[in-house]
Amino acid sequence: MTYTNFTVETDADGIALVTWNMPDKSMNVFTVEVMDEIDAIIDQVVGDTGIKGAVFTSGKSSFSGGADLSMIKGMFTMMLEEKEKDPDNAIQKLFDVAGRMTWLWRKLETCGKPWVSAINGTCMGGAFELSLACHGRVASNAKSVKIALPEVKVGIFPGAGGTQRVPRLTNAQDALQMMTTGASLTASRAKAMGLVHQVVEPDQLIPAAKQMIKDGLKPVAPWDEKGFKVPGGGIWTPAAAQLWPAASAILRRETHGNYPGALAIVKCVYEGLQLPFDTALKMEQRYFTQVLQTTEAYSMIRSLFISMQELGKGARRPAGIEKSDLKKIGVVGAGFMGASIAYVSAAAGIAVTLIDRDLEAAAKGKAVSEKLVADSVGKGRMTKEEGEKLLSLITPAADYEGLHDVKLVVEAVFEDRNVKKVVIEAVEAVLPEDAIFASNTSTLPITGLAENSRRPKQFIGVHFFSPVEKMMLTEVILGEKTGDKALAVALDYVAAIRKTPIVVNDTRGFYVNRCVFRYMNEAYDMLAEGVPAAMIENAGKMAGMPVGPLSLTDEIAVDLAQKIMKAYIADLGEGAVKPAHMALMNKMVDEFDRRGRKNAKGFYDYPPKPAKKALWPGVKDLYPQKKAEDFDIKVLQQRLLVTVALEAARTMEEGIVIDPREADVGSILGFGFAPYTGGTLSYIDGMGVKTFVDLCDRLAADYGDHFQPTPLLREMAAKGETFYGRFDPYAKKAAA
């Protein structure tokens, strides 16, 4: 038989090599067609008496990243359509679709012939669940091998047997940690946990897999053998009596009950280990069907899986413009941001001319990359040769002559209009006529900076977040005169350095900073009301934010927040900043010299390691304190999320952000807005715009007019609209 996505070759020993190699795809992914073909291949292997067993592997550099975008979208589309047509039967259909992969893998596992999975690269999600259903697993020891069940990160959980096979192969504690965090495992770690049988050199992968079959690999899973015992003794043991209460408590501490998928993992493992295997799979299928119907799963999959992939692949890139091949760029400004931008560019294989006022300053900027490389080599993430190659791509310089042949310059000098003006004019004097000038700025409007340019159509903003090497988001900002070519080149560059871009129109603070300052400002209001600082911080984390708003202020720097407020007042007048907020920043910086983490004292104290940071005792003296019981923790959580979501809605109303995918992805990647919500606009859509508007009205009555819903929100509430309905990101594409 011939297949579209697989080849099946049987050798002289009767071992079939099933190679997965999807045409026109850089990585193998599961589609309906792929699963149909796997189903047929299992039948072929079973039906051919000349085949003794089969090895399943990939013809690409990676094994598989899991489910395809279109299949996931199709599942949710089907669910919504069926609920409208036949609500009673919709859940049954979803249950059946959710179980397709589960029972296909079980068919392979019980087919009567041995299967070995030969894992040659990234093996994620359903691909690893397929591997777990094979009777043997061999992994390459290449650094590219990453094994994981990361579904919890997008709101669901390993629902194709993962929650049942993993804890039957390794101890329950390791199984829970792997699945509730979605952490990646190296091949050696997977072997130590008992999830992989062998780890071999890359060129020995297929021979080793075939040898397992030649050596008489039994075509029976351990849990299908009589007398099978769960590692660690199962649920009813003294060790388990200690594990399960602690596991539940840790999950509550880490997730605050916000992630149904994570909770379902714990339930599936606990219940499944007490059931016969096939019954356990049905139980898992039931929980998977339930989780798929939650707002959290729908929103997280849409934003963190579908939208993030679409934006990363250039959803906002202008059509008809040839892709840029950026072999060399210039970075002007070798301070921490510029130096880090040079590092990520060189890491992507792009040569960088790193310029500063003198060669010593430029070399100091390159030293940032040298330290990052040394750390990576020391931790085994990079070889010495790879590090040397990366560093060879960065050339420090003290003049602009090295920019005469670049297609893109990223300016990252001090956040001052006059300084940037001088740099813009000097760079453009040597820059090729068709090159693009990108300014990295966090607050200065791009249109104003572009007034210093001779070619504003080729001037654009590219706002990186610190630390650049870790933060996955980049804001691409359009000035009033920015042309499509500049946007296309900027997006090509962001894709090349493997960041996720969002495109926003020009405004002070752009999108992310406008939203994040609302989060911090609400905390300042709470402090003034007498809310204990610890309660504010806990409310933020309980709402789903990665850190509390006062801690975030410290990370950004208290004196930077003060400077930004002063700039707002200078440019927009006294009404641009609440006097109480300005007074608080002035007191923290000017009176107490508490500037944040950078000088080891802000709202928190930062003692030398290994001691942990702690809230500064003086915080309670900034305002008269009330008792914690005087406040409703739920309302505090709502205030912190609603104020940010309201600002996101304003940016849509003002046309700063025009695609809801970008508002959502930008809020999560930019400052960690409660990922379980799917982002700022999904938070509003998830509860319903009318419900959100009613909540805003209540908060405005109690806590101030900054909670007043915008006219757009009131209009959408009256019409029963959603942001993804009114601003459908796919409508233009469909019309075309």
Active site residues: 463
Q: What is the pLDDT of residue 702?
A: 97
Are 283 and 333 contained in the same domain?
no
pLDDT (tens digit per residue) in 608-645 = 989 999 999 999 999 999 999 999 999 999 999 999 99
Q: What is the pLDDT of residue 527?
A: 97
Q: What is the pLDDT of residue 572?
A: 86
If we measure between CA atoms, which residue out of 223, 217, 60 comes closest to residue 140?
Answer: 60
Q: What is the pLDDT of residue 509?
A: 83
Section 100-105 average pLDDT: 96
In percent, how much of the chain has pLDDT > 70? 99
Query: Is residue 73 over pLDDT 80?
Result: no
CATH code of 212's domain:
3.90.226.10
Are 474 and 607 contained in the same domain?
no
Are 459 and 540 contained in the same domain?
no
Q: Lowest mean pLDDT: which of 154-158, 203-207, 279-283?
A: 154-158
Query: Is residue 431 over pLDDT 80?
Result: yes
Q: Lowest mean pLDDT: which of 269-278, 438-447, 584-593?
A: 438-447
Residue 247 maps to a domain: yes
Are 471 and 620 contained in the same domain?
no
Query: Is residue 95 over pLDDT 80?
Result: yes
Do residues 19 and 7 touch, judged by C-beta distance below 8 A? yes
Instruction: For 462, list phi and psi in degrees, rounded to 5.
Output: -130, 100
Q: What is the pLDDT of residue 736?
A: 45
Query: Is residue 734 over pLDDT 70?
Result: no
Among 453, 475, 508, the domain boundary falls at: 508
Rounded distance between C-alpha atoms, residue 439 and residue 341, angstroms: 12
Are 518 and 494 contained in the same domain?
no
Residue 221 maps to a domain: yes
Among 476, 508, 540, the domain boundary falls at: 508
Going by pLDDT thresholds of 50, 70 and 90, the confidence category of residue 733 is low
CATH code of 480's domain:
3.40.50.720
Are 685 and 538 contained in the same domain?
yes
Question: 251: number of CA atoms within 13 Å, CB side?
Answer: 25
pLDDT (tens digit per residue) in 219-260 = 999 999 999 999 988 898 998 999 999 999 999 999 999 999
Among 508, 539, 559, the domain boundary falls at: 508
Helix 260-272 and helix 172-181, axial crossing angle in degrees, nearest 10:
160
Residue 320 maps to a domain: no
The chain-wide mean pLDDT, for the chain, equals 94
Are 369 and 473 contained in the same domain?
yes
In this predicted model, which residue has the larger pLDDT, 570 or 435?
A: 435
Are 399 and 338 contained in the same domain?
yes
Are 556 and 448 contained in the same domain?
no
Number of H helices, E strands in the chain: 32, 18
Residue 431 maps to a domain: yes
In this predicted model, which residue has the larger pLDDT, 291 or 67?
A: 291
Residue 267 maps to a domain: yes
Section 430-446 average pLDDT: 91
Are 165 and 254 contained in the same domain?
yes
Residue 734 maps to a domain: no
Q: What is the pLDDT of residue 68?
A: 84
In percent, how much of the chain has pLDDT > 90? 86
Section 180-208 average pLDDT: 96
Largest Cα separation within the chain, whole Å, is 85
pLDDT (tens digit per residue) in 135-144 = 999 999 998 9
Category of 662 on φ-ψ map: left (φ > 0), alpha (ψ -120 to 50) or beta: alpha
Q: Give the domain extent around 207.
A: 6-293
Question: 387: number of CA atoms within 13 Å, CB side?
Answer: 19
- Name, in order, each residue with C-beta under 8 angstroms of 506's C-beta and a sequence gap of 6 or more: 445, 446, 447, 461, 477, 478, 479, 480, 656
Query: Is residue 599 over pLDDT 90?
Result: yes
Residue 569 maps to a domain: yes
Q: What is the pLDDT of residue 561?
A: 92
Residue 637 maps to a domain: yes
Rounded distance between C-alpha atoms, residue 355 and residue 363, angstroms: 9
What Cα–Cα distance (Å) separates residue 465 from each residue in 283, 336, 440, 470, 666? Answer: 43, 11, 10, 9, 11
What Cα–Cα distance (Å) separates residue 280 from each residue in 211, 296, 313? Answer: 32, 24, 39
Section 563-585 average pLDDT: 91
SS3 call for 23:
coil
SS3 call for 125:
coil
pLDDT (tens digit per residue) in 15-41 = 999 999 999 888 999 999 999 999 999
CATH code of 625's domain:
1.10.1040.50
Instruction: For 186, list phi and psi in degrees, rounded to 5.
Output: -75, 165
Which stretches within 303-379 are classed as H helix? 308-312, 336-347, 359-378
Section 570-593 average pLDDT: 93
Q: What is the pLDDT of residue 88?
A: 80
Section 161-181 average pLDDT: 96
Going by pLDDT thresholds of 50, 70 and 90, the confidence category of residue 74 is confident
Are 522 and 429 contained in the same domain?
no
Are 438 and 563 contained in the same domain?
no
Q: What is the pLDDT of residue 531?
A: 97
Query: What is the number of structural domains in the chain?
Result: 3
Q: What is the pLDDT of residue 380?
A: 85
